[in-house]
Structures are given as C-alpha cells and as structure tokens.
Amino acid sequence: MAPAGAMEAFLARIPELCDNDQRAFLCSDFSEQQADNPEGYQEAVKFWSQLLLDACRCGLLSQGNAAPPAASMEGGAAGACRSDDSSGDEDGTDVVDRIAAATAATAAAATAGGEAASVLCLERRGLAARLAFRGDMPMGVDAVVAWMQHQGTLEETGAFLAGNATRRWVGRLALQLPLVGRHVAALAWAAAASDGSVLVARPLVVAAAGRVLDAHYVRAACALTDNLMSLGEFRMRFSKALGSGSPMADIDARVLLRQLESCRHVATAAGGADGHVLVKFAAARAQAVEAIGTADRGAFQVLATRALISQQVDQLGARIRDLDEQARIAVRRKQRAQALAHLSLKRHIEGDIIGQRLQALQKIERVVLQLQQSSSDVQLMRAFKAGTCALRGLNQQAELVNPESVFDEWAEQALRAEEIQAVMDGAAPVVDDAELEAQLDALLQEEDAKQ
C-alpha cells in the first residue's frame, strides 16, 4: 500500500484524468474499441503504459509500501491536488513535478519506518483499484499490462531472475536480511514473484543500472578495494541512483544486480561463512567483470574488518563524550561518587580500550594500503601473507572486545554510585586515586567558574 493520499495526489496532477470526458474514456474498457477506434485505443494504451511506469518510479505500485497516517501529505504532494475539473497544467506542472511530489511522499513514508517501496517493480494484483480516481476505475489496465509484457516493457520477476546462478543468489539473500520485518517482506515479495503477480519494469531497471555505474566509476579509485562491497553496502551506496530518496528495497536490489550481472558489469558470490553476499564491479566500465576469486574474498575480509574496528572506535568515542557530560551533570548535582564513577570508566576506555582499537585500525590500514598498491594476484597474496597474523589477531580482538559490554559496565558503575550516594547522604567518599580526584577537582572548578 502507498502512503494514504499519495496515489490520489499523483493522479490529481494529470490533466487527462481531471477532465471528465477524457477520464470516462480512459477508465472504460477501451480494449473493446480496438477495431472501431484504433487511434483512441493506441492513445489510451500509451497513456496508461506511461502512467504505470511513472507511478512505479514513484514507488506507488509497490507491494512493500508502508501505509502510515499521511499527515505530511498536506502541503506536499497532496497540497498540489486540485479538486476542480479545470485544474490541468495551468501553472506549468508537468510529469516531472508529479513524479517529484509523489516520490517525496513515498520517501517520507519509508523514512517514517515503513518497508522501503520498490521503484523498479509493480504489484499487478488489485492494480485497477489502486488507480481508481474520483470514483472511476480503469477497466482496461489489465489489457495494457498484457501489452507491455508482450512488448517486453514489463516482465515477470521470476523470469527476469531466471538462471541457476541467480537462483542460488536469491537463496543466499535471505541470509543477508538481519531484521525480521525485512525478512518477512522479502519472503512476501518472493512468493508474489513466483506466481507472476510482481512485474519488473525493464526500462526503469536499465536506467537505474546506468546511474549505478555512473555513480560507481566516478568515485572508484582503486580497482581492488573500491570495486568490492557487501550487499548491504551496495544498497546503501546506490539507493540515490534509484531517485526515490528512500532506502533501496530488497526486490530492487535483486533485479538491479541481476541486470548488472547480465551485462557482465557485476559478479556476486557468498562473502564467507557469515552468508553475506559479496558484490564485485568490473575494474573499468568498458571491461567485463571477472569471477570473484580468493584474492577478492581476502580483500573483502580485510575491508570488513576495517569497517568493524572503525565502527567500534566511533562508538567508544561517542561513549567517552557521553561519560564526560554525565560527569559534569553529576558535579552540578553535587553527586561526587557518581561523577567519580563516570570519570573512572572514561579513563578505562581512553587508556585500555580505545588505544587498542586505534592501533588495530592502523595495522588494518597498512594492510589495505598494501592491497591497493598490489597490481597482480601474486602481489596480493604476498600482502595477505604479510598481514595474516595481524589480521587474525585483530579479528579475535574485535570479537572479544565488545563495546556493549563496556556500556553495561558503565550502567552498573552508575547504579552503584547512586547507591553509595544514598547511603552516605552526601558525604564525600574516600577514593584512593589522586588522578581521578584531580580530574574531579578540575571539573568542580570549571563548573564554579561558569556559575
């Protein structure tokens, strides 16, 4: 389902549908008039085929759309609606404006927490009902869909994804979905695709694939590391290429990668024991991609480890800033014991944990630099061997040191400090740590100076 009112707002910006006479013909079963009025029939087919592509591009025909209350439609897409039949394009509004307004509404719905809408596929079931406008339902839309399938503009998802390699990839896709909601949505799309109710809009897929290639090769600097990514990174990096302004839907990632694979721009494979899908772009846009090999898998593991450690450093840095702020709050409230607990954990993170993370990140960066400077598989394998011991240790360290355990320790320390504060009724505790006492005194002086 599309956001409430989004489809109506989209249709209300189309002059032909706002004219009663034109709408009456377009919503009739014009297929019966093919022999008597061939020109009118062709015009109706052309009109609805273009409208279906435009609505699909906006995510309005997707099965996976969320349908939250659309208060945000007011002043947005819905604000552009006109209730009078003379609306038309008096202000110069054209199809670009319609698509922009409807796309913004769909993106807002996805941002609000709904499953991302597909902008490359449409759900055939109930299509006429969803396109109903001002009480008129397009009776000939099924004939238009059949014509578009015959022309190759629309294709059943199952047929589009046909091929043994693709079937294996689709099976692995379920392992990539970390959230139950996304998993259920992907299974729903897969079930619908199997019975032919989900159709791929081939012109939209081809255009989106071209934009993905444009975006990738503008930024790709190193043929090895920049051309490798996980499926999740692919979806995040190229969601803007779809023009929807919302995250890339699961079904769109599937058909988009299938299109890129069929043109030999991309290769996919299981990324490792974790079941993640590894995506590899060709070294250059004009070249055909090579199959994913051992060197590619090794490089991907290095990049994944770097991303993990970098994320941990960011988390710990944010926690240090949070602890510092919590200590200041405790000082202002005269909660000396709690302030000391916050400072103690802050010092522990700064001295014993984040330093190890930064050292690990430096080692990984050196390995990545070696990989980027390697121009052959032999050099790559030498780089891997040089960094194997360090990488193995870093992987173990990344698994053993979990920032969440540090955060849990912080919560326990804070709770303990509150208990101590209550028992001592404001009395200053004796802490055998001159450095922490000095930090606390500095905070006290700083807060006194502010007052």
Per-residue pLDDT, averaged over 219-230, amounts to 80
Confidence category of residue 113, pLDDT binned at 50, 70, 90:
very low
Per-residue pLDDT, averaged over 422-432, amounts to 43
| HSE-CB of 328 using CA atoms within 13 angstroms | 10
Per-residue pLDDT, averaged over 337-352, amounts to 84
Share of the chain above pLDDT 70, in %: 64
> Encoding tokens for residue 368?
């990545």
Whether the Cβ atoms of residue 61 and residue 138 lie closer than 8 Å to each other: no
Q: Does 395 or 96 have the greater pLDDT score?
A: 395
Radius of gyration of the chain measured on its C-alpha atoms: 29
- pLDDT for the residue 35: 81
Confidence category of residue 82, pLDDT binned at 50, 70, 90:
very low
Which contacts (CB < 8 Å, 24+ apart) does range 67-71 have? 67/1, 67/2, 67/3, 67/4, 67/109, 67/114, 68/3, 68/4, 68/109, 68/112, 68/113, 68/114, 69/4, 70/3, 70/4, 70/5, 70/6, 70/105, 70/109
Give the residue from 130, 121, 87, 81 showing the smallest Cα distance to 102. Answer: 81
* Rounded Cα gap, residues 55 and 148, in angstroms: 15
Give the residue from 65, 68, 154, 158 showing the smallest Cα distance to 116. Answer: 65
Whether the Cβ atoms of residue 151 and residue 46 lie closer than 8 Å to each other: no
> Encoding tokens for residue 32?
């019966």
> Encoding tokens for residue 320?
């240090």
Residue 429: pLDDT above 70?
no
| Nearest-10 Cα torsion for 412, 416, 417, 419 | 140
* Rounded Cα gap, residues 209 and 201, in angstroms: 12
Q: Does 393 or 75 have the greater pLDDT score?
A: 393
* Rounded Cα gap, residues 257 and 338, in angstroms: 53
> Encoding tokens for residue 245?
């302004």
Mean pLDDT value across the chain: 73
Strands 154-156 and 198-201: antiparallel
* Rounded Cα gap, residues 66 and 50, in angstroms: 24
Confidence category of residue 358, pLDDT binned at 50, 70, 90:
confident
Amino acid at site 404: E
- Helix H or strand E encompassing 406: helix 403-424
Confidence category of residue 444, pLDDT binned at 50, 70, 90:
confident
* Rounded Cα gap, residues 39 and 26, in angstroms: 13
Per-residue pLDDT, averaged over 423-447, amounts to 61
- pLDDT for the residue 433: 63
The sign of the torsion formed by the CA atoms of 158, 159, 161, 162 equals positive
Amino acid at site 181: G
Q: How far is CA 30 from CA 11, 117, 142, in A?
A: 19, 30, 11
Most confident of 101-105, 168-172, 392-396: 392-396
pLDDT in tens, 240-295: 888 777 789 999 999 999 999 999 999 998 765 445 789 999 988 999 999 988 87
Per-residue pLDDT, averaged over 333-339, amounts to 84
Question: Could you tell me the domains of the chain?
Answer: 6-151 (no CATH), 193-292 (1.10.10), 295-450 (no CATH)
- pLDDT for the residue 338: 86
Residue 428: pLDDT above 90?
no
Share of the chain above pLDDT 90, in %: 29
pLDDT in tens, 122-154: 999 889 999 999 989 999 999 999 999 999 999
**Nearest 5 degrees, angle CA 276-CA 280-CA 284?**
170
Interaxial angle between packed helices 202-219 and 250-262, expressed in degrees from 0 to 180 and rounded to the nearest 10: 80
Residue 93: pLDDT above 70?
no
Residue 407: pLDDT above 50?
no
Per-residue pLDDT, averaged over 334-341, amounts to 84
Per-residue pLDDT, averaged over 6-13, amounts to 92
- pLDDT for the residue 378: 55
Per-residue pLDDT, averaged over 338-346, amounts to 85
Whether the Cβ atoms of residue 119 and residue 250 lie closer than 8 Å to each other: no
